[in-house]
Structure 1
Amino acid sequence: MVALVLGPVLALPLAACTGSDIPSVDKAADAFVGALQSGSFDGVDLHQDTSADPQTQRSEILEPLLTAAGAEKPDVVVHKVTTVETGDDKGRKATAELQWTWPLGGDATWTYLTDAELTYVEPEKDSDQPGYWSTLWQPDVLVPGLQPGERLKVDRVAPVRGDILDGAGEPLVTTRDVLRIGIDKTHASAAEWDGAARALAQLANDGGITVDADAYAAKVAKAGAKAFVDLVTVRKESPQIDVGAARLTKGVGVIEGQAALAPTSTFARAILGRSGEATEEIITGSDGRVKQGDVTGLSGLQKQYDVQLTGSPGILVTAVDPQDDATEPRELYKKEAVNGTSLQTTFDVGLQERAESVLASTTSAAAIVAIRPSTGDVLAAASGPGSKGLDTALLGKYAPGSTFKVVDALAFGRKGITPDTTIPCTPTITVNGREFQNVPEYPSSALGDIPLRTAIAHSCNTAMISQHDVVAQQDLVTAAQDLGLGVETPVGAPVFYGNVPSDATPAQHAATLIGQDRIEASPFTMARIAASVAAGKRVDPVLVKPATPATAKDVPTSALTAAEADTLRQLMGGVVENGSASVLQDVPGIVGAKTGTAQFGDGTQQHTWMIAIAGDLAVAVFVEVGDRGSTTSGPLMHAFLTGS
Structure 2
Amino acid sequence: MKRTAAVVCVSSLLITAGCSDSKSGDGGKADPDNEKQASAQVVKQFADAWVKAWAPDGKPTEAAALTDNPTAFGKRLDDVDSALVASSVKVTPQGEVNCSDDATCTQELAVEAELRGIGAMKWTSTATAVKVADAWKVKAAGDTIYPGLGEANYLKRTRNLPARASIQDRHGVALTSNKPIVIVGVASGTAATAATYAAFTKNLDVDGAKLAKRAKAAPAGQFVDAITIRAEQWAKLRPTMGKLPGVLTMGGTASLAATPTFARSVLGTMKQANEDTLKNAGPTASAQDQVGVNGLQYAFQQQLAGTPGGIVSLRDGKTKLTIKEVFTQKGTPGKPVKTTLDTKMQQAAEAALATQQLPASLVAVQASTGQILAVANGPDVTSYNRAFQGHYAPGSTFKTVTSAALLGSGLTTNSSVPCTDTINVFGKTFKNYDALAAYGAGPMQKAFNQSCNTAFISQHGRLPKDGMTKTAAMFGIGRELNLSIPAYGGEVPAPKDDVEEAASMIGQGTVTASPLAIALVGATIDHGTAMKPVLVPGKDAAGTAAAPLPAATAAALRTFMRTTVTGGTAKLLAQSGTVGAKTGTAEVVKDGKVVTNGWMVGYRGDVAFAVIVEGGESGGKAAGPILKNFLSKFK
Secondary structure of the structure 1 residue equivalent to 2:462: coil
Does structure 1 residue 69 correspond to structure 2 residue 83?
A: no
Could you tell me the TM-score, scaled by structure 2's length?
Answer: 0.81
CA distance in 2, matches of 1:484, 1:134: 72
CA distance in 2, matches of 1:103, 1:226: 29
Kindly state the Cα deviation for residue 163 of structure 1 after the two structures are TM-superposed. 2.3
Does structure 1 residue 323 correspond to structure 2 residue 337?
A: no
Aligned partner letter, 1:324: T
Tell me the residue number matched to 1:4. none
Q: What's the CA shift string for 1:74-126, capped at 9, x where partnerless?
A: 53232111548xxxx799986422222223358932332233456899xxxxx
Does structure 1 residue 111 correspond to structure 2 residue 111?
A: no
Q: 1:429 aligns with which of 423, 433, 440?
A: 423
Kindly state the Cα deviation for residue 183 of structure 1 after the two structures are TM-superposed. 6.4
Q: 1:144 aligns with which of 147, 161, 169?
A: 147
Tell me the residue number matched to 1:621. 611
Tell me the residue number matched to 1:335. 329
Kindly state the Cα deviation for residue 289 of structure 1 after the two structures are TM-superposed. 5.6
Secondary structure of the structure 2 residue equivalent to 1:70: strand
Aligned partner letter, 1:81: E
Tell me the residue number matched to 2:449. 457
1:594–1:610 contact (8 Å) kept in structure 2? yes
1:83–1:92 contact (8 Å) kept in structure 2? no
CA distance in 1, matches of 2:216, 2:501: 61
Kindly state the Cα deviation for residue 577 of structure 1 after the two structures are TM-superposed. 0.9
Tell me the residue number matched to 1:411. 405
Tell me the residue number matched to 1:170. 173
Tell me the residue number matched to 2:360. 366
Does structure 1 residue 292 correspond to structure 2 residue 287?
A: yes
Kindly state the Cα deviation for residue 374 of structure 1 after the two structures are TM-superposed. 2.5
CA distance in 1, matches of 2:429, 2:585: 17
1:196–1:252 contact (8 Å) kept in structure 2? no
Gap change, CA 1:604 and 1:224, over 3 Å in 2 = closer
Does structure 1 residue 31 correspond to structure 2 residue 42?
A: yes
Aligned partner letter, 1:597: T
Aligned partner letter, 1:178: I
Kindly state the Cα deviation for residue 411 of structure 1 after the two structures are TM-superposed. 1.4
Does structure 1 residue 393 correspond to structure 2 residue 409?
A: no
CA distance in 2, matches of 1:509, 1:45: 80
1:184–1:252 contact (8 Å) kept in structure 2? yes
Kindly state the Cα deviation for residue 434 of structure 1 after the two structures are TM-superposed. 1.8
Does structure 1 residue 612 correspond to structure 2 residue 629?
A: no
Secondary structure of the structure 1 residue equivalent to 2:236: coil
Tell me the residue number matched to 1:277. 272
CA distance in 2, matches of 1:141, 1:224: 35
Secondary structure of the structure 2 residue equivalent to 1:368: strand
Gap change, CA 1:488 and 1:217, over 3 Å in 2 = closer
Secondary structure of the structure 2 residue equivalent to 1:171: coil
CA distance in 2, matches of 1:83, 1:253: 57
CA distance in 1, matches of 2:184, 2:104: 65
CA distance in 1, matches of 2:488, 2:154: 55
Q: What's the CA shift string for 1:492-518, capped at 9, x where partnerless?
A: 221110111113311111111111111
Aligned partner letter, 2:360: A
Tell me the residue number matched to 2:96. 81
CA distance in 2, matches of 1:168, 1:321: 53
CA distance in 2, matches of 1:104, 1:235: 31
Aligned partner letter, 2:113: W
Tell me the residue number matched to 1:482. 474
1:62–1:152 contact (8 Å) kept in structure 2? no
Kindly state the Cα deviation for residue 489 of structure 1 after the two structures are TM-superposed. 3.1
Q: What's the CA shift string for 1:105-159, capped at 9, x where partnerless?
A: 58932332233456899xxxxxxx99x9887664323213334311223444434
Secondary structure of the structure 2 residue equivalent to 1:611: strand
Gap change, CA 1:283 and 1:184, over 3 Å in 2 = closer
Q: What's the CA shift string for 1:6-65, capped at 9, x where partnerless?
A: xxxxxxxxxxxxxx997241331331342354355899786xxxxxx4752464145433
1:313–1:336 contact (8 Å) kept in structure 2? yes
Aligned partner letter, 1:483: F
Secondary structure of the structure 2 residue equivalent to 1:32: helix
Gap change, CA 1:523 and 1:433, over 3 Å in 2 = same
CA distance in 1, matches of 2:174, 2:482: 23
Aligned partner letter, 2:40: A
2:345–2:373 contact (8 Å) kept in structure 1? yes
Tell me the residue number matched to 1:518. 510
Gap change, CA 1:350 and 1:117, over 3 Å in 2 = same
Gap change, CA 1:102 and 1:223, over 3 Å in 2 = closer
CA distance in 1, matches of 2:216, 2:410: 75
Aligned partner letter, 1:372: Q
Aligned partner letter, 2:123: Y
Tell me the residue number matched to 1:310. 305
2:87–2:113 contact (8 Å) kept in structure 1? no
Does structure 1 residue 564 correspond to structure 2 residue 558?
A: no
Aligned partner letter, 2:389: L
Equivalent pairs, count:
589
Does structure 1 residue 375 correspond to structure 2 residue 369?
A: yes
Q: What's the CA shift string for 1:505-546, capped at 9, x where partnerless?
A: 111111111111111111111101001111121121111233
- Larger mean CA deviation between 308-317 and 603-612 belongs to 308-317
Kindly state the Cα deviation for residue 462 of structure 1 after the two structures are TM-superposed. 1.6
Does structure 1 residue 241 correspond to structure 2 residue 227?
A: no
Kindly state the Cα deviation for residue 291 of structure 1 after the two structures are TM-superposed. 3.8
2:40–2:97 contact (8 Å) kept in structure 1? no
Aligned partner letter, 1:627: E
Kindly state the Cα deviation for residue 562 of structure 1 after the two structures are TM-superposed. 4.3
CA distance in 2, matches of 1:462, 1:182: 58
CA distance in 1, matches of 2:196, 2:222: 13
Gap change, CA 1:584 and 1:337, over 3 Å in 2 = same
Tell me the residue number matched to 1:56. 72
Tell me the residue number matched to 2:259. 264
Secondary structure of the structure 2 residue equivalent to 1:626: coil
Tell me the residue number matched to 2:537. 545
CA distance in 2, matches of 1:293, 1:348: 33
CA distance in 1, matches of 2:235, 2:98: 74
1:61–1:152 contact (8 Å) kept in structure 2? no
CA distance in 2, matches of 1:318, 1:538: 59
Kindly state the Cα deviation for residue 195 of structure 1 after the two structures are TM-superposed. 8.3
Gap change, CA 1:164 and 1:329, over 3 Å in 2 = farther
Secondary structure of the structure 2 residue equivalent to 1:583: helix
2:564–2:570 contact (8 Å) kept in structure 1? yes
Gap change, CA 1:276 and 1:603, over 3 Å in 2 = closer
Does structure 1 residue 637 correspond to structure 2 residue 623?
A: no
CA distance in 2, matches of 1:227, 1:134: 40
2:254–2:290 contact (8 Å) kept in structure 1? no
Q: What's the CA shift string for 1:202-245, capped at 9, x where partnerless?
A: xx84xx64456677678778878866666654333455834455
Gap change, CA 1:42 and 1:532, over 3 Å in 2 = closer
Tell me the residue number matched to 1:594. 582
2:116–2:286 contact (8 Å) kept in structure 1? no
Could you tell me the TM-score, scaled by structure 1's length?
Answer: 0.80
What percent of counterpart residues are identical? Answer: 31
Aligned partner letter, 1:635: P
Kindly state the Cα deviation for residue 181 of structure 1 after the two structures are TM-superposed. 5.2
- Larger mean CA deviation between 270-279 and 453-462 belongs to 270-279
